[in-house]
Structure 1
């Protein structure tokens, strides 16, 4: 975190606190530890690609799509904030999305790439699906 600019430190700490507070509330209210489920999806692959100047194949890029469109974490939070009671089996189901859900996230990623590819390429970001 030391290497982050100040504005990013604020974002990071806000997200970090949100994740931990949510985990605490669910553990207290439902006796289920959701922290491992929240940590499963990390956004580090694209950062590694960017820092190493790696050019992923389209298949590699779309394979990481599931995480980068925030689909899993949105589904997880939608479930934990609406379910009563929260069940471990259902948390595990959320982690193992079907192909139709995964493919929908790929469409979201490609749509987003289409709209943002010009400025990202101008900055030298990791290549997109475009």
Structure 2
């Protein structure tokens, strides 16, 4: 989307992806489990009053996320007359719930099966959330069918996210796992099958 007329799309998708990086680090590195539970509930409620329950370092992120996402929804209402805020907030809620599930696994020392991991990981890679935002920022007109299908994450989104997740897992370092990340698909497979990690000659 390099054309000049798509500058707003590029700006807002960039902001969205930056929020993903920040929030991912909150769940993986900075937040205690109790704090992450509070943050996830706050995201689900999508109300600035929830800021009072959050620790200071989360408040700025939470308010900025609400303001930026509401700005996207406002822009769509102006252009198309459609309120997409419930779809945008659901995508953030689904992402944070998937992050919280991974955090619970980490804090409890639980090792998920590969199937259990992948059932959560296609959401936690954030592809569905980004694609939901992208759909509303570039699609004209936004059809009723698109609105109905996007919330259930059709197969094209699930499969794209799965490919992205598996690719991303190949690049996860042991340092990331030590600092608070859950085992990735490779480790889940190794734990489940008793397989060893053997380097491929092309890597």
User: CA RMSD of the aligned region, Å?
Assistant: 2.3
- 1:97 counterpart = 2:150: no
Quote how far apart the aligned CAs of 1:109 are: 0.9
Distance change (3 Å), C-alpha of 1:5 and 1:60: farther
- The 5 Å alignment of 1:14-93 reads 14-41=64-91, 42=94, 43-51=96-104, 52-53=107-108, 54-93=110-149
Quote how far apart the aligned CAs of 1:5 are: 5.3
Considering only CA atoms, is the larger Rg found in Structure 1 or Structure 2?
2
Name the CA distance, whole Å, in 2 between partners of 1:123 and 1:47: 16
Q: 1:120 aligns with which of 173, 176, 195?
A: 176
Quote how far apart the aligned CAs of 1:27 are: 2.4
Name the CA distance, whole Å, in 2 between partners of 1:50 and 1:103: 24
SS in 2 for 1:127: coil
Quote how far apart the aligned CAs of 1:4 are: 4.0
Query: Which structure carries more helix by proportion?
Result: 2
In the TM superposition, what whole-angstrom CA distance separates every residue of 1:52-89 from its partner, at most 9, and x where no partner exists?
A: 52332211211122321222222222221212222222
Name the CA distance, whole Å, in 2 between partners of 1:128 and 1:81: 32
Name the CA distance, whole Å, in 1 between partners of 2:129 and 2:177: 27
SS in 2 for 1:15: helix
Q: Which runs of 5+ in 1 are unaligned?
A: none
Quote how far apart the aligned CAs of 1:33 are: 1.5
Q: Which runs of 5+ in 2 are unaligned?
A: 1-50, 187-203
Answer whether contact 1:61 1:129 (CA < 8 A) is retained: yes
**How many aligned positions are there?**
128
Quote how far apart the aligned CAs of 1:30 are: 1.8
Answer whether contact 1:117 1:128 (CA < 8 A) is retained: no
**4+ residue runs over 6 A deviation:** none
